[in-house]
Amino acid sequence: MSHVLFSIEDQIATLTLNRPEKLNSVTPEMARAIMTHVQHCNENDQIRAVIITGAGERAFCAGSDIAELDTYDTPWVFRNRPDYCDAIRALRKPAICAINGYALGGGLETAMSCDIRIASDTAKFASPEVKLGWIGGGGMAYMLVHNIGASNAARMLMTGEPVSADTALAWGLVSQVVPHEALQSQAREIAQMIAARPPIAVQTAKTNIRAAYAVPLETAIQYERDLQTICFATQDADEGRRAFKEKRSPVFEGR
């Protein structure tokens, strides 16, 4: 049985962590599979959005399988392991995370590596590594501080205690909380809206958002204007303007 499921339907790829008996914790083999699927998503122009979720009722992902950590020969080998969070951040296509339960440790980092996060009302979020004597290593502190602020980040990182879906929503960690049974349909609805947009503009928007984290205001504005100019030169932009004038729905081809 595959521990990472992958499917494509109507220009939307779905990647499902499929190890529910272990709270979808990630093994090195699963990390390599995620990397392979991300590469396929990036290379396949028919894929316009990606949904990432977990199998079962209890968990989205509990992070790395702790039982596997002692299999690394040295801390340096551990440092250079295949990293599934790096893989998710390498996605050029928009990523929607449907958080169906626990998002712990690397599972929380995986969720934060996605562009849009929606959560089941049963979801819980934690950075519990401190309870075991270490800290997160997949961008945990950086992403938490940028998403929920320094004080809330410190509370999560230093206590390791979980927060509820409602708290995550109030802090800005997720965009929406929905009833558990509505999670997948809501994620797909968002993915369908994005898939209907011009793909070059959408991927450029993703690039622009990433840049906004890292550069000063004036540099960010200039970069945004350059990206806008690139988009404006595409056939899709021409089609968008024509469709607006002709009062019809545009047909975008990613050119």
Q: Please, which residues bridge with residue 5 across strands? A: 16
Does residue 161 have an active-site annotation? no
Tokens representing 15 are 């990647």
- Helical segments of 92-149, H only: 106-112, 140-148
129 is catalytic: yes
Note the helical H segments in 5-128. 28-43, 66-69, 75-79, 84-89, 106-112
DSSP designation for 26: B
Q: Of the residues 109, 161, 181, 218, which is catalytic?
A: 109
Among residues 9, 29, 129, 253, which one is catalytic?
129
* Residue 143, C-beta contacts closer than 8 angstroms, at least 6 positions apart: 109, 112, 113
Phi, psi of 45 (to 5 degrees): -70, -15
Catalytic (active-site) positions: 109, 129
